[in-house]
Structure 1
Amino acid sequence: MDEWLRALLRRTAAESRRAAAGTGDAADGGEGSAEHRRLAAAVARGPEGHPELAAVLTESGRPVWAREVAACALADGGDRRAFETLVFLLNYREATRAECAAEALLRLGDPRTGRAAAALATNELRAAYALHPVLLLTRLAGPESVPALVTALRARLRPGAVPYWGLARACARGLGELGDPRARPVLTEAAAFPRLREAATDALRRLPPP
């Protein structure tokens, strides 16, 4: 088990203790709840624990932290049963979970990941939670990445749109990293906004000459 999974188990152990407080399920010391200890043992068993972890993703009533542990551990082992849960977590309202899901999706390497991340990044109804899909698209550098980042950035520049400046800057930086000349028009437009000028200008410098 590598440090990424160990860090996930430490974080979710604390969450499970808080959730179990007063129920008699919490553990003493630094351990998680009884449910968390069972899941951690399944993670430690590697592929032998995958059936138990996969069941967590389909059973009703399981807490989000348990689904996160199960999906991330399955993804680390290349088990594609984790995919749908990870896509759900990639757009989650808690940034820590979304960041963890993005790393898990990279480890999983499912060919559907780029399309799913692009759909989340360009869904205006979920724009407030689109940062990690945008960051994942940049890291994937797949065929969906540039069109999705252009669409997501352009949406932030529309009159009357909620700007979500952090998201817009991530789009601009991502387009600069990807270095695709198709990004030039939207980056030029973004450079006119004071809060985006630095990121957009830097991204424009990284594009090939017109």
Structure 2
Amino acid sequence: MSESGTVQQEFDALAERVRPEIVGPEAAVAHAGVTTGRPWTTAEGRERLARILTEPAQPLGLRELAAFGLGCAGDRRAFETLVLLLNHRDPARCASAASALARLGDPRTMRAAAALATNPLRTAYALHPVRLLTGLREPESVPALIATLERLLAPTDPHWRIALACVEGLGELGDDRAVPVLTAARDHPRLSEAAGSALAQLGVPV
């Protein structure tokens, strides 16, 4: 499937997901306007999406839809909204924000994702920031993933899924700076197998 087809598919799925949040005639009209055609592909459509981000009292689902469309179009007016959604308690919102940020091409994305991933107060919501860091494939991704993983290596830490995403990401990125923390992760009962695979990806005998 082409990139445009993938964006359309994700956009349509998102539109259906947020539909129950669209309450009231004005919001319904706005939702219909946003979901008609491919508004992110024209200047007029992008302006319509951008207005939703700034107009007061718009449902969060509608703002999410508008930010997703703008982000996939490379329109940086979506950046702030997408970053807020990337740190949302709803994993589905985090996932759609991460997908749009990966396409946005904003140089601020790397720093924002790293800040969210490494924030110890938001670890429970760090899965998609961690995955976004991996997908960005920037040299700066590696220190953020290492720092996040290092504080999650206690066997009793409840956020082992976040740690696992860090391990997998570091293996995919293939940076030798990750060898010490991946070696330490081999002693973690839930991370051992993935850490061994990641080290093998880095060419380290296991």
Task: State the TM-score bracket (shorter-chain normalisation).
Answer: 0.7 to 0.9
Equivalent residue in structure 2 for 1:110, among 106, 109, 123: 106
How many residues were matched structurally? 201
Give the alignment of 1:18-29 within 5 angstroms.
Answer: 19-20=22-23, 25=25
Given the alignment, which residue of 141, 153, 159 partners 1:145? 141
Partner of 1:2: 5
Taking the aligned partners of 1:18 and 1:105, their CA distance within structure 2 comes to 23
Question: Residue 106 of structure 2 aligns to a residue in which SS?
Answer: coil
- In structure 2, C-alpha distance between the alignment counterparts of 1:68 and 1:159, rounded to whole Å: 36
Q: In structure 1, how many angstroms separate the alpha carbons of the residues matched to 2:17 and 2:79?
A: 25
1:56 aligns with 2:59: no
Q: TM-score, normalised by structure 1?
A: 0.86
Report the Cα distance in structure 2 between the residues aligned to 1:36 and 1:136, rounded to whole angstroms: 28
Instruction: Specify the alignment match of 2:196 in structure 1.
Output: 201
2:176 counterpart of 1:181 = yes
**CA RMSD, Structure 1 to Structure 2 (Å):** 2.3
Query: Structure 1 vs Structure 2: percent identity of aligned residues?
Result: 50
Q: Retained in 2: the 8 A contact 1:68–1:86?
A: yes
Q: Which amino acid aligns with 2:128?
A: H
Query: For 1:169-202, what per-residue CA distance to the aligned partner results, in whole angstroms no more than 9, with x for missing partners?
Result: 1100111111111111111111101111111111
Please state how far the C-alpha of 1:121 moved relative to its aligned partner.
0.5
Measured after TM superposition, the shift of residue 127 of structure 1 is 0.5
Q: Deviations over 1:97-132 (max 9, x none)?
A: 211111111211111111111111101111001001
Task: State how far apart, in whole Å, the 1-side matches of 2:13 and 2:98 are.
Answer: 18
With over 3 angstroms needed to count, the CA separation of the structure-2 counterparts of 1:107 and 1:5, relative to structure 1, is same
| Structure 2 unpaired stretches of 5+ | none
Alignment of 1:38 onto 2:41: no
The residue that corresponds to 1:29 in the other structure is: none
Identify if the C-alpha distance between structure 1 residues 208 and 14 changes in structure 2 by more than 3 Å, giving closer, same or farther. Answer: closer
Q: Deviations over 1:26-54 (max 9, x none)?
A: 9xxxxx93331022238436221122211
Partner of 1:168: 163
Partners of 2:21 and 2:113 in 1: CA distance: 31
| Aligned residues of 2:22 and 2:62 also touching (Cα < 8 A) | no
Other-structure match for 1:90: 86
What is the deviation of 1:14?
Answer: 4.8
- What one-letter code is carried by the residue in structure 2 that aligns with 1:7? E
- Note the C-alpha offset of 1:134: 0.5
- Quick one: which amino acid aligns to residue 130 of structure 1? A
- Counterparts of 2:91 and 2:20, CA distance in 1: 20
Unpaired runs of at least 5, structure 1: 27-31
- Asked if 1:79 corresponds to 2:82, the answer is no
